[in-house]
Amino acid sequence: MAQTLLIIYLLFFALRFLFHWILSVLNMNSALKQKDRVPDFAAPWIDEDRYSRARAYTKRKEEFGLVSFAVRSAVTLIILLSGFPGTLDLFITGLFSSPLVQGVAFIFLFSLITDLAGLPFEGYSQFVIEEEFGFNKMTGKLWLTDKIKENLLSLVIGFPLLALLFFFMDRTGELWWVYGWAFLSAFQLLMFLIYPSLIAPLFNKFTPLEEGELKDSLNELAEKCGFKTKGIFLMDGSRRSAHSNAYFTGLGRTKRIVLFDTLVESLSTAELTAVLAHEIGHYKKKHILKKLASSFLSSLALFYLLSLALNWTPLFQAFSFNAPSYHGVLIILMYFSSPFTYFLSPLLSRISRKQEYEADAYARNAMGSSKELREGLMKLNKENLSNLTPHPLYSSFYYSHPPLRERWDALAALDEE
Ligand code: ZN
């Protein structure tokens, strides 16, 4: 049985590898075969030089993505086929006697090793590729401080969280998965509420808008839409990257809309107002609530699966564990499940793109025309050297936002109605 499970896993692993590889190559070719002619709809804003830089950026990122994907896949295979989980298990059992401490230690050591394997790629992407295209604004020191903070945070938050989860698995009987799920969901909700005001400020500065033309224009729109403007913040994104963005996060009184300083620098007041309208659209259409609700539901299903898998010895044998354990089942779920969940990405991306269209339509109505939003998106695309011609299969698989071309057409169509 364990043998069969391993074969099924390896089959999905190979299939995902092939799929990922084909999609990347298609996407690269789709960017390259366009020659230098800028697509008509973008031609008034983007010149040939910038267009060819955007394509070079796409190619560079895809090529590097393939190399790092191949290495990460190889690391996973080595971990699995060398029997590493079982060896680590033995090592940790020798160090600690309490099963709870053993479980927490296993997960931390395992994550540490797999995270370390990813660090060189992260560094290369930030300090070589992003640097080459003028996006990197990070110093080595800031990068290191970020890493230290991230790891301290995951220790401080992760340790008690794991310990409590193991407690539920161990002590609450048959229905542990319901209690465990309720606990984790409550925790997730709490994190979601405190993240914008307690955690994000550990990494970035958030300042309320300064008095002036921009603030007046944003206030006027927010008032019209019934959104409390206390929640609009500027973020010093330029400390790390020249990429620009805006996002909406939080719930209830902690909700906020965040505009990167890099965005404010490159867009006009009218365009920024349209971007704000789009973010308010996410709020009005309750996208955050929907995302949270679906994440709670899917984690309930996952917990149920966990409860079924917990005592199923062949599963542990298939992934090189010596015996069933709480930490083993969590590692299988967190680290080894991606070849299966990968095939859900088209569905998740599609839901996300649908919400983007809804927020766009809301913004179009709030502004009375789609012109400002379209032009704002065009500038964003231009500044970020985004791919203007992604392969349709690639974008439908991975894109959380519709490709500019499709967004542009959908918005323009709303004006004609
Ligand atoms: Zn959006």
Span 133-144, pLDDT tens digits: 999 999 999 999
CA of 60 to the centre of ligand 1 (A): 26
Residue 397 token pair: 């698989």
Residue 268 sits at φ, ψ, to 5 deg, of -75, 165
CA distance 379 to 36: 19
**Catalytic residue numbers?**
279, 360
Position 216 scores a pLDDT of: 93
Q: How confident is the model at residue 250 (pLDDT cuts 50, 70, 90)?
A: confident
What residues sit around ligand 1, an ion, with C-beta below 5 angstroms?
356, 359
Mean pLDDT of the chain: 93
CA distance 383 to 336: 37
CA of 410 to the centre of ligand 1 (A): 14
**Sheet strands side by side (includes 246-249):** 206-208, 232-235, 256-260, 246-249
Position 297 scores a pLDDT of: 96
One-letter identity of residue 99: P
8 Å CB contact between 2 and 363:
no
CA of 356 to the centre of ligand 1 (A): 5
CA of 264 to the centre of ligand 1 (A): 17
Percent of the chain whose pLDDT exceeds 90: 87
CB atoms within 10 A of CB 91: 12
The CA-CA-CA angle for residues 104, 105, 110, to 5°, reads 105
pLDDT at 412 over 90: yes
Average pLDDT over residues 284-311: 94
CA of 177 to the centre of ligand 1 (A): 34
pLDDT digits (tens, 9 = 90+) for 187-199: 999 998 988 889 9
CA of 265 to the centre of ligand 1 (A): 19
Residue 28 token pair: 């690269």
8 Å CB contact between 245 and 212:
no
Position 417 scores a pLDDT of: 78
CA of 359 to the centre of ligand 1 (A): 6
The CA-CA-CA angle for residues 129, 74, 68, to 5°, reads 10
pLDDT at 256 over 90: no
DSSP 183: H
CA of 314 to the centre of ligand 1 (A): 44
Q: How confident is the model at residue 145 (pLDDT cuts 50, 70, 90)?
A: very high
Position 144 scores a pLDDT of: 95
Whole-model pTM: value is 0.92
Position 37 scores a pLDDT of: 85
